[in-house]
Structure 1
Amino acid sequence: MPINPQAYRPAKTLLTLGDTVFDPVAAADFPETRLRFRNDRAAAEVGLDALTDDEWIAHLGRFEPLPGTLPQPLALRYHGHQFRTYNPEIGDGRGFTFAQLRDDDDRLMDLGTKGSGQTPWSRFGDGRLTLKGGVREILATEMLEALGVPTSRTLSLIETGEALDRGDEPSPTRSAVMVRLNHGHIRIGTFQRIAYERDEAAMRRLVGYTLRNLYGEDSDDPIRLLDLVVARTATLAARYMAAGFVHGVLNSDNINVTGESFDYGPWRFAPTWDPAFTAAYFDHRGLYAFGRQPEAIHWDVMQLAASLRLIAESGPLVETLERFGERYQPAVATAILWRLGVIPQDPDTDRALVQTIEQALRTTATPIDRFFFDAFGGALPDHYGDAFAAVRTALGPYAARRARDHDYWRGEPCAMLIDEVESIWSAIADRDDWAPLHAKIAAIRKMGDALR
């Protein structure tokens, strides 16, 4: 394969954890491999953008080992609370980590899969991914990246030629294997599994691994790790809210300890600021509703703190955990002001502005994307009437962080509501027409350029 030695920097640090957190596995043998999406912008960050399509398919569809990194795929072991019920029988059931590379910011990145076949943790699943699920993940990750949410990127989607039966969508349906680029795949559930097994030595190794390789700190201190995770996950929760995003399944096995969002199933973007809006049809109690996401993520981090009690005292863990709220409040103000395109003032003024905006959006049911598009730069258009008078007043002292001079602002807001997601998929399912997907990706990236 063509390698740029400055950009391609392989690693295999995961192996230092030993076999307490993974099982070696083999990828499924797919009937076909048809390349449907390659994210060269993300690939360039880890030196893979020069691959030919044939090489891309060989490494990211057939999973021939990339030079200098993991010699074979590893399915990660973890436990987790799923809708607040502890499950000790889960792990990577249809995915694995097959490479580690350093990106251009020297972060350790994992190449992980979805739909790559069965593993010891598949239980009764077939280890496959629907093509629709892969398309939806592309749309989620592209939109979140553009809106400033720390997220995995969808690196590759390859159609695999199998007909899959699924109970919750029309079947048979087409199959795919997806590769994501992620800043680590160590989850809160990874720590929960080791705590469940009462393996103190493995817990200390995992804490040290996470601090050194994912946070760049020469430390083995579990309190320090929890403090970093509290800060990162509070920021993630804040960015979800500013983006109007509902992940749908914020189980503890779906929370990455780097605070980077990943693993998108029944996600949706909320059309309006409705705290009760849910993404998953099976979330009957609204546990992971739009407005409850900060609470849900905080609860998951509590499970990390409980796991770290294996090697740390409860007092400092509780004290650190209680800082989540004081981290979340300024983070949500920063996130909303960033999307609004204005320069922050002082914390009290920023907090008051955010509360005023949330109140107006909630009581008027104004579309979230429309509001942030119209108000970018801090100048609310005249057609926003009396219901937004307090918002207009609160915006008075704020200066724009950049002018509305990008071509994006001369069009319409880029949104990602469920009807459009279904329309993009229908074009693929009915006519094998991928043009609407590629057009949407281009529109999302245009918005991202305007916001940055």
Structure 2
Amino acid sequence: MPIPFDNSYARLPQQFFAAAQPLQSPSPALIQVNEALAAELGIDSEWLKSPAGLDVLSGRAIAQGSEPIAQAYAGHQFGNFVPQLGDGRAILLGEVVDRAGRRRDIQLKGAGRTPFSRGGDGRAALGPVLREYLVSEAMAALGIPTTRALAAVTTGEPVVRETILPGAMLTRVASSHIRVGTFQFFAARGDEEAVRHLADHVIARHYPAAAENPQPYRALLDAVISAQAALVARWLLVGFIHGVMNTDNMSVAGETIDYGPCAFMDVYDAATVFSSIDRAGRYAYGNQPRIAHWNLTRLAETLLPLLDEDENAAVEQAQDALGGFGAMFEQTYFGGLRRKVGLLSDEPEDMELMNALLTRMTENQVDFTLLFRALGRAASGEDEPARALFVDPTAFDAWATQWRARLARDGQAAADRRAAMDRVNPAFIPRNHQVEAMITAAVERQEYTPFHRMLDVLSRPFEDQPDALDLAEPPLPHERVAATFCGT
């Protein structure tokens, strides 16, 4: 088979999904195939580029072995519970076992209406498809667990949003598309058997060690909490803001999923919000750890009947598991911050030192990515690139005096320290204004050169790339992006 499907989710009970057929694109055209990812999956990228491959990527044909379905799930959206959501514009084509033995979903996003569309058209516009392709692949290059983009195509059919836009489809790859909201879907219906069936499926697929634990469902909860605590900490370390951390957008596999109004912070401020629908700042940059804990609490609620027959004992277990989130998050977050500022060892005062830097960055409107990249040079004695980012450069000088005294206690050679810092502090992120310019070029002029260029540069985010310095620049005042939007 061109795509070596080996499906498991489609074998679950019928209430887990609904059969769905992709929308047939009238006149598809290929934008990009991810050759490296195709190789990982055991798929011939040349076949994907062929007319037969394009037919599958655009919904015009169903590949041998595919069993197209739309998955059922519920979710809390901005704190309000919706008992039925589901894949309203995405269709799971099937699963493959990749060359490393990992099971991966292959899904068409923007594939048309499904039984869960709730009045939507089920389609995707070109801009959101390009944004998700670019940002998800950038996240992968940054080493952050994420869904991936296998291909993007235009459909040849317009999509109606605020204006008429070109339609597109994204082929998305994930460890799975099972969400906290998937558990909520069955728990809200009092279907304990389905919750247990789903939990057993997730354990077998994602956390097989939990099956050997005397309390497998507690082990499952612990594993998801650990994965999410580390994931959100890593978001913060690169200035990423998901934008819509609803429970239906939280993967139990611990991957970043559903790139809608996401963005990377320019100037550091924990209150930063870009999403146009997040008017109260619920999902602001600095709120993301708290929201992750809130979402995980909703997951724990669905697992209570599995944790213990005695409700009080089950609640106690859930609270104990959730109580570990903070320490897990801080271990990854503060450990990552130490590496970002060049520290090797762990001293009690380090947290105060790092928080002092973040406070000065906020007060001085300092660009998050540029500052941490410049610290590698400052550690070698080149202060000016870092100082110049501060409205008041003496604020950096005062902090740097304490920082250098702390570095001296680690005793690492300056060149080695800078190299280590450059391995964790990217020079390039998907700058919001550049992403918007790329989308404008594609949508208004059918020009994809900016997309391909950004994709190439962002695939090597930790390298100095002298020919791409413009992509490292923060926005000028008139270029700043104040709001990002969902593709729906």
| Alpha-carbon distance, 1:282 to partner | 1.7
Q: Which structure 2 segments of 5+ residues have no match?
A: 308-313, 388-392, 466-488
Q: Deviations over 1:138-166 (max 9, x none)?
A: 22112222222211111111100111111
Q: Deviations over 1:375-418 (max 9, x none)?
A: 23854631224323234444444547967679x99xx9323222
| Alpha-carbon distance, 1:427 to partner | 1.5
Assess if the C-alpha contact under 8 Å between 1:156 and 1:180 holds in 2.
Answer: yes
| Alpha-carbon distance, 1:309 to partner | 1.4
State the aligned residue count: 437
Assess if the C-alpha contact under 8 Å between 2:40 and 2:99 holds in 1.
Answer: yes
**In 2 relative to 1, CA 405–376 (structure 1 residues): closer, same or farther, beyond 3 Å?**
closer
Aligned equivalents of 2:171 and 2:229: distance in 1?
27
The percentage of counterpart residues that share the same residue type is 30
Assess if the C-alpha contact under 8 Å between 1:63 and 1:98 holds in 2.
Answer: no
**Secondary structure of residue in 1 paired with 2:461:** helix
Q: 2:281 aligns with which of 283, 286, 296?
A: 286
| Alpha-carbon distance, 1:442 to partner | 1.0
Matches within 5 A, 1:291-302: 291-302=286-297
Amino acid at match of 1:58: D
Q: 2:182 aligns with which of 177, 190, 207?
A: 190
Aligned equivalents of 2:335 and 2:98: distance in 1?
26
Assess if the C-alpha contact under 8 Å between 1:41 and 1:49 holds in 2.
Answer: no
**In 2 relative to 1, CA 36–204 (structure 1 residues): closer, same or farther, beyond 3 Å?**
same
Q: 1:96 aligns with which of 91, 94, 101?
A: 91
Match of 2:394 in 1: 386
Match of 1:62 in 2: 59
| Alpha-carbon distance, 1:16 to partner | 3.7
Amino acid at match of 2:200: G
Matches within 5 A, 1:52-451: 52=47, 53-54=49-50, 55-62=52-59, 64-68=61-65, 71-167=66-162, 171-217=163-209, 219=211, 221-312=216-307, 313-338=314-339, 340=340, 342=342, 344-346=344-346, 348=348, 351-376=351-376, 378-379=379-380, 381-383=382-384, 384=387, 385-388=393-396, 389=400, 390-397=402-409, 399=412, 413-448=427-462
**Secondary structure of residue in 2 paired with 1:176:** strand
Assess if the C-alpha contact under 8 Å between 2:84 and 2:185 holds in 1.
Answer: no
Aligned equivalents of 2:435 and 2:295: distance in 1?
29
**Secondary structure of residue in 2 paired with 1:206:** helix
Does 178-187 or 368-377 show the bigger shift? 368-377
| Alpha-carbon distance, 1:185 to partner | 0.5
Q: 2:26 aligns with which of 13, 31, 48?
A: 31
TM-score for the superposition, normalised by structure 2 = 0.83
Assess if the C-alpha contact under 8 Å between 2:343 and 2:407 holds in 1.
Answer: no
Assess if the C-alpha contact under 8 Å between 2:226 and 2:325 holds in 1.
Answer: yes
Assess if the C-alpha contact under 8 Å between 2:370 and 2:427 holds in 1.
Answer: yes
| Higher Rg | 2
Aligned equivalents of 1:402 and 1:392: distance in 2?
15
**Secondary structure of residue in 1 paired with 2:195:** helix
Aligned equivalents of 1:221 and 1:401: distance in 2?
47
| Alpha-carbon distance, 1:345 to partner | 1.7
**Secondary structure of residue in 1 paired with 2:139:** helix
| Alpha-carbon distance, 1:354 to partner | 3.4
Does 95-104 or 393-402 show the bigger shift? 393-402
Aligned equivalents of 1:116 and 1:268: distance in 2?
24
